[in-house]
Amino acid sequence: MEKTDYRKLMDKPYLGAWDIPERDDLVLTIKSVGTEEVMNESHKKEEVMLITFTDAKKPMICNVTNAKAIAKVAGSTYIEDWKGVRIALYSAQVQAFGDTRDAIRVRPYPPKLEKLVCADCGKEITDHAGYKALSIAESSRGTYGRTLCWECAQKAKKAAEEKAKESDVL
């Protein structure tokens, strides 16, 4: 039975170690990287690096250790190159502020990609017309509520357009 960390119930605005599945990695895709002013543990304002993800509701405050790991995975130290990069987060015990704490860490290597399969035709989703398979899958999941290959996404788009036309006539 998986237990619930009390911090999951505290409605924290940023990802924390408690958001990582127990004994598992959390694989996310970087949407954007920027800075934000936050209150630190000493209740002083501090500007931090903030990473948002396409597949997570909460952003992550990124420290130097994690930034170095992301740069290694992305193959670049430039944050503009990190958009679309998939990273694996895990929870680790670290020494910080004179105490042992749970912390988010980024694996310094790319996560293993699961095989992307189309929900409609069952074929593996592959790159198409300059679009990466992962982008096609995520876009179709967001638009149509299911993971589709390029061809099935085009069929779904056409069906949605015809349905919209049909409802306009009524």
Q: What is the pLDDT along the chain (170 residues), one digit of tens a residue?
A: 667 777 777 778 899 888 888 778 899 999 999 999 998 878 899 999 999 999 889 999 999 999 999 999 999 999 999 999 999 999 998 887 788 888 999 999 999 877 889 999 999 998 888 888 878 988 898 899 899 999 999 999 999 998 888 876 65
The pLDDT score that the predictor gives to residue 69 is 97
Range 83-119 burial, b when 16+ CB lie within 10 A, else e: eebbbbbbbeeeeeeeeeeebbbbbeeebeeeebebb
Q: Given this model, what pLDDT does residue 3 score? A: 76
CA distance 127 to 54: 19
DSSP 3-state assignment of 106?
strand
Query: Which helix (H) or strand (E) element contains residue 136?
Result: helix 133-144
As a dihedral over the C-alpha atoms of residue 71, residue 75, residue 80, residue 86, rounded to 10 degrees, the angle is -80
Contact indicator for 49, 33 with CB cutoff of 8 Å: yes
Coil vs helix vs strand at 66: helix
- CA proximity to 152, closest of 119, 130, 127, 128: 119
Q: What is the pLDDT of residue 170?
A: 57
Q: What's the rounded Cα separation, in Å, for the pair 44 and 38?
A: 8
Cβ atoms of residues 19 and 105 within 8 Å: no
Give pTM, 2 decimals: 0.65
